[in-house]
Amino acid sequence: MKWITAFVLLATVLICVVPSAGSSGALVTATDCVINAPGESKECVITLEKAVFGLSGYEISLSLEDPGIAEITGVKFPAWAGLNSRGRLPADRLTFKGADSNNKVKPGDRSVTLGTVIIRGDLPGTTRLNVAVIRLEDESGSNLGADSRDGTVVVKGGDTSAGIREVPVQDTILAVATSPAVTQAPAPVITAAEVIPETTPVPDEGTVIIDTMPAGAAVFIDDLYAGDTPLTRTGIKSGLYTLRLEKDGWEVFEYGVFHVGTGEITRIEHVIMTRLPASGSVYLESEPAGAAVIIDGIASGTTPAILMLEPGTHTIIAERTGYLPYKGTVMVPPGQTLHYPRIVLEKEPGYIITARSTGNGTLSPAGEVPVDKNGNITFLVTPAPGNVILNMTIDGEESGPQGEVPFMAVRSNHSIFVAFGPEPAEQDACPENTTVSAEFLSDIRSGPAPCTVNFTDVSAGMVTGNEWDFGDGTIVKNEGNCSHTYGDPGNYTVSLTVCSATTSDTMIKTGYIRVLPVPVPVKADFVANGTTGVSPLPVQFSSTSGGAPGSWYWEFGDGGNSSEEHPLHVYEKAGVFNVSLTVTRGVNTDTLCRSDYITVIRPAIGGDTGTYTLYCNVGNASVYFDGEYYGRITNGSFTMTVYTTATPFTTYEVRAPGYVSCKANIRIYPNKGENIGLQINLIPERSYDLSPPKKTTSYTTILSNISSQWG
């Protein structure tokens, strides 16, 4: 039996699953453990023989059949079990849990280590290490069910006679301190003077009466459940016993040793329980995945995510580029994990391209054509046989005939109009009269310089000669149909004069050909009047984009945006933010994104100060307190000054590209002028070898991510 119990505080992370009936044939085993002498320790490995359907999470219960022989003093988790928890240690019973959040264990993997327990020998002898599988989940989160095989613990060094250790009878109760965080109850009132009346036969038994504040605590006498408080138990054989009180949401109360006398009533009353910090957690997922999660205004990772939250109502925002943001609330009960309903994000409303045509030909697609934001679409222009494109306009501006009209990265509404007409008719080779009438057509009316136009003479009558004037100083004679290239932008008047043996005629078309300037592509660029400061931080952004854009769209990285050319944006929260600018002119668009462009720091609040110093094996890693960015690891460390008179931080996190992030709860805080040092060893994102011979190295690496300062 153990007389001293040390508490280790660790947040419990659960994943809500739906259990399935029956067993999958999975087997969880414990290796045998031989300890050379009392006081020494050995490791026992808990193994899943084969993960037939993969593994997403597990919960295992261990117990020593004879707690006088040995006790469990520690547990190590495999590297892939980034989400894990265990019960209080040292103990005769232990429940530990883990989750494969990064999908490292694959279907069919064998000899998967679930945990390694450290067992210390107390007395020579042999006891069984009982294994019970509470929960074993496959890749989909379904509870498989599993069989188990117990292990044997042997402690060498002498006789194994069992029985209660002799402890001197005491007139007072030995109160056992369980943890610095536990407030010890006042000494309960114990009275041995109330003797059962002599008229009642008195066997070698007594009575114990136990009550707590609040009531409803589970009572364990010599580690055996005896009922809930208030409790009166009769028929207890006289002797010495240990007492433990447990209640969900309250500190375990280790009472120590009490004495039951023959025919006496022992009272253990007015035991005041101490409430535990009642954090809960919520599991969030979205469709599509990868949405940024903001809890109560603080960036909290991307979906899917498991988040530790204080009890109460919290605001949830999920955002993903191209989708409308989601906003909701969640009520987190103390000490529980909720599986929040899957968040289905709706795509952002798109834009409309109006496509119309006249004459004999097709424009496809046609009508009011919807296009997603930043989407691409191409329209096909096909004249009917015997017809040509007479005119085409895009967004109200004339354009040369094109068989395909693309719109790329659409961010506004557009229009396209096409006019089809018949090809020029062939003239009668033998007209009946000699009068002539000048007329001509062209294959296009406008286009960017240099612009080549094919002209067709469709004059009537017996034409014996002609003269073209293209309006740019070029004159061509005696050519029926001809081509001409305009080199400079402008509007050109074209004339055709035709003649016969006796008559002539001239057709003049003013401004008939329009040559457009060569379009200059837009190029996004911008500057800011400052990139670092204390929140709230106003930043004046200015577009320096080229190509004469007609519209601007800014995204400031904290959820804000603007369509102004030179916007002023105020950053209210601390963090590091990306800034992007998209500029558009017609169908031309360009985007510039600057990563980690704006750094906003939480303002100081005054008062006495202390410091945390984080030592890290990865240079330039980012440091966050309560989800807000505060700086980077430089020369192996980062020092954070905190005000001892302010509300303390509750979490810290260190992140670096290519490494598994390290996040932990803060359990202690510096006094005035005090520095608390923390060692963080980040682990590369890689696959771990799960074969048994290499497990010890994997465990050492993953446990180094947890600072001993935080419990």
Q: Would residue 252 count as lying in a domain?
A: no
DSSP E strands, 517-627: 526-528, 532-534, 537-543, 551-555, 561-562, 568-571, 575-585, 588-601, 609-616, 622-625
Separation between Cα atoms, residue 552 and residue 84, nearest integer Å: 47
| Count of C-beta atoms within a 10 Å radius of residue 344 | 11
Nearest CA to 208 among 271, 272, 165?
A: 271
In this structure, what CATH number is given to the domain that contains residue 289?
A: 2.60.40.1120
Tell me: do 398 and 497 sit in the same domain. no
Q: Is 230 inside a domain boundary?
A: no
Handedness of CA 54, 57, 63, 69 (dihedral sign): positive
Residue that terminates a domain, selected from 125, 155, 185? 155
Tokens linked to 329: 């609330």
For range 210-225, the mean pLDDT: 92
For residue 623, give the 3-state DSSP assignment: strand
Report pLDDT digits (tens) over 193-206.
333 344 444 568 99
User: Distance (Å, rounded) from C-alpha 61 to C-alpha 30?
Assistant: 11
- Looking at the structure, tell me whether residues 299 and 381 fall in a common domain: no
138 and 33, same structural domain? yes
Mean pLDDT of the chain: 81
Separation between Cα atoms, residue 63 and residue 348, nearest integer Å: 55
Most confident of 181-195, 415-429, 511-525: 511-525
- Per-residue confidence band for 127, with pLDDT thresholds at 50, 70 and 90: very high
Residue 230 is predicted with a pLDDT of 93
H or E segment and range at residue 698: helix 695-703
Task: Say if 371 falls within a structural domain.
Answer: yes
Whether residue 514 contacts residue 397, with contact meaning beta carbons closer than 8 Å, is answered with: no
| Residues above pLDDT 90, as percent of the chain | 43
β-strand pairing of 298-302 with 361-364: unpaired
Write phi, then psi, for 14 (nearest 5 degrees).
Answer: -120, 150
| pLDDT tens digits for range 456-465 | 998 888 888 8
List the one residue out of 263, 308, 260 whose CA is nearest residue 283: 308
590 within some domain: yes
Distance CA 360, CA 358 (A): 7
Same domain, 618 and 682: yes
For the chain, the residue count is 711
The CA-based angle 166-167-168, given to 5 degrees, is 120
Alpha-carbon gap, residue 241 to 259, rounded angstroms: 6
Average pLDDT over residues 419-447: 74
Residues 31 and 149 in one domain: yes
C-alpha to C-alpha distance for 355 and 87, rounded to whole angstroms:
68
Is 414 in contact with 354 (CB distance < 8 Å)? yes
Q: Both 324 and 364 in a single domain?
A: no
Q: Are residues 296 and 384 in the same domain?
A: no
Q: Which domain range does residue 595 map to?
A: 526-601
Judge whether 674 lies within some domain.
yes
By DSSP bridging, strand 218-221 and strand 239-246 are: antiparallel
What are the residues facing 302 on neighbouring strands? Answer: 292
Q: Residue 573's pLDDT band (boundaries 50, 70, 90)?
A: confident
Q: Quick one: average pLDDT of 483-506?
A: 91
- The 3-state DSSP class for residue 503 equals coil
- Does residue 536 have a cis peptide bond before it, meaning omega lies within 30 degrees of 0? yes
Same domain, 146 and 127: yes
- Domain-located, residue 113: yes
Q: Is the pLDDT of residue 181 over 80?
A: no
Q: What is the pTM of this model?
A: 0.27
Contact indicator for 71, 122 with CB cutoff of 8 Å: yes
- For residue 88, how many C-alpha atoms fall within 13 Å in the half-sphere facing its CB? 12
Token pair, residue 48, equals 């899943």
Is residue 441 within 8 Å of 404, Cβ to Cβ? no
Phi, psi of 64 (to 5 degrees): -90, 125
- Identify whether residues 694 and 613 lie together within a single domain: yes
Q: How deeply is 72 buried, as exposed, middle or buried, from its count of CB atoms within 10 A (0-12, 13-18, 19+)? A: buried
Q: Long-range contacts: 359-364, Cβ < 8 Å, 24+?
A: 359/387, 359/390, 359/419, 359/420, 359/421, 360/384, 360/386, 360/387, 360/420, 360/422, 361/387, 361/389, 361/418, 361/420, 363/416, 363/418
Q: Is residue 531 part of a domain?
A: yes
Cis peptide before 304 (omega within 30 of 0): yes
Question: What residue spans of 344-447 are helical by DSSP H?
Answer: none
378 shares its domain with 446: no
- 632: tokens are 């980077």
Asked whether the predicted pLDDT for residue 645 surpasses 80, the reply is: no
Q: Which helix (H) or strand (E) holds 630?
A: strand 628-632
Please give the helix or strand (H or E) that residue 29 lies within, else none: strand 26-30
Report d(CA 532, CA 562) in Å as an integer. Answer: 20
Residue type, 313: T
- Residues 359 and 332 reside in one and the same domain: no
Residue type, 193: A
Mean pLDDT of 556-582: 93
Give the contacts of 605 (CB within 8 A, at least 6 positions apart).
Answer: 643, 646
Asked, for residue 466, whether it belongs to a domain, the answer is yes
The answer to whether 249 and 238 have CB atoms below 8 angstroms apart is no
Average pLDDT over residues 550-574: 93
CATH number, domain with residue 150: 2.60.40.680
Identify the weakest region by mean pLDDT among 101-115, 314-328, 401-415, 685-699: 685-699
Burial of 45 (0-12, 13-18, 19+ CB in 10 A): buried
Q: Which of 422, 450, 469 is the last residue of a domain?
A: 422
Pairing relationship of beta strands 675-680 and 609-616 according to DSSP bridges: parallel
Sign, Cα dihedral of 524, 526, 532, 537: negative
615 burial via Cβ count (<10 Å: 0-12, 13-18, 19+): middle
User: Across the strands, what pairs with 240?
Assistant: 259
| Maximum pairwise Cα distance, the chain | 157
By three-state DSSP, how is residue 464 classified? Answer: coil
Does the structure show a pLDDT above 70 at 2? no
Residue 585's pLDDT band, with cuts at 50, 70 and 90, is: confident
- Does residue 570 carry a pLDDT above 80? yes
pLDDT above 80: residue 182: no
Report whether pLDDT(241) > 50: yes
pLDDT at residue 588 tops 80: yes
CB neighbour list of residue 688: distance below 8 Å, 6 or more residues apart:
78, 79, 80, 104, 698
In this prediction, residue 630 has a pLDDT band, given cuts at 50, 70 and 90, of confident
CATH number of the domain at 536, please: 2.60.40.10
User: Based on the structure, what is the number of domains in the chain?
Assistant: 6
pLDDT of 455 over the 80 cut: yes
Residues 33 and 129 in one domain: yes
User: Considering only 243-252, 258-267, 631-640, 695-704, which range has the smallest mean pLDDT?
Assistant: 695-704
Phi and psi at 697, nearest 5°, equal -65, -40
What is the distance between the alpha carbons of residues 108 and 700, in angstroms, rounded to a whole number? 25
C-alpha neighbours within 13 Å on the C-beta side of residue 329: 5
Give φ, ψ of 473 to 5 degrees. 95, 0
| pLDDT score for 128 | 92
Model pLDDT for residues 654-678, shown as the tens digit of each residue = 999 999 999 988 878 888 888 999 8
pLDDT for the residue 434: 63
pLDDT digits (tens, 9 = 90+) for 229-238: 999 999 999 9
Averaged over 641-657, what is the pLDDT?
81
Per-residue confidence (pLDDT) for residue 245, from 0 to 100: 93
Pairing mode, if any, of strands 125-137 and 326-332?
A: unpaired
The DSSP 8-state label assigned to residue 411 in this structure reads -
Please tell me which of 171-180, 290-299, 305-314 the model is most confident about, judged by mean pLDDT: 290-299
Given 562, 583, 601, the domain boundary residue is: 601
pLDDT in tens, 365-423: 999 999 888 889 999 999 999 899 988 999 988 887 888 999 988 888 999 999 998 88
Query: What does DSSP assign to residue 250?
Result: B
Would you say 244 and 2 are in contact if contact means Cβ atoms under 8 Å apart?
no
